[in-house]
Amino acid sequence: MRWIIAVIVVAVSSFFLYNEYQSMNAATPAPPPPLAAPLEMAPFLSFDEIKSIRRSTKDGDPGVRWAAVELLYSIRDPESLSILERIIAEDPEQELRIKAVQLLDKGGGSRQLPGLIKALSDVDNDVRLAALKALGDIGDPAATPWVSPLLKDPEAEVKTEALHTLGRFQDKRKAEFAALTDQLRRQYEAAVRKSQENSK
């Protein structure tokens, strides 16, 4: 009987010793991955402060107006595009209207089109030129119906820029068509190769 108890004690002790040995020699668990950095910084301005900055875009001083516009655009305020459109349509300062067009040009997307299209009817030909250049940079042919009328603009420089802009639309359309054709050709060739491999 004693030897049975001794065997049980040895077996249980061996089991606990083996588990202790395994836990000591186990690979150190990998540290948790670092926290992912946010894609954008959280806004540091309160809603009331943002509302105050929006009011500053109507300040009597053009420098204050523009500083407020730039800040709102940099923090991606949802109203910044409509404020830029208002600056383009209503601001008495030609320089601010041109800066607003150039800021929209940096955005480089179709969301900027309405503001740039408004600038095409500006009384100042420098604003119209800036808008045409920005539209050419974006390259969205959807703006063609608003660019074409400028082929009859009283200023030769504006007419020339309108022609260049329409040409840039065409170049972008050709490049997109060539890329699509190339993609379809590669897909067709891959499908033919797969079909030939399956038939073997």
Give residue 193's pLDDT.
Answer: 85
- Rounded Cα distance, 147 and 166, in Å: 7
Segment 89-99, tens digit of pLDDT: 999 999 999 99
Give residue 190's pLDDT.
Answer: 86
Give residue 6's pLDDT.
Answer: 57
Domains, the chain, ordered by start: 47-199 (1.25.10.10)
- Rounded Cα distance, 174 and 5, in Å: 89
Average pLDDT over residues 45-66: 94
Give residue 92's pLDDT.
Answer: 96
- Rounded Cα distance, 98 and 62, in Å: 13
- Rounded Cα distance, 146 and 152, in Å: 12
User: Over 80: is that where the pLDDT of 122 sits?
Assistant: yes
Question: Cβ distance 84 to 73 under 8 Å?
Answer: yes
Give residue 8's pLDDT.
Answer: 66
Rounded to 10 degrees, the C-alpha dihedral 3/8/14/19 comes to 180
126 token code pair: 């420098």
Is the full-model pTM beyond 0.85?
A: no
- At residue 144 the predicted structure's pLDDT band, cuts being 50, 70 and 90, is very high
Write the CB contacts of 80 (distance below 8 Å, at least 6 apart in sequence). 69, 72, 73
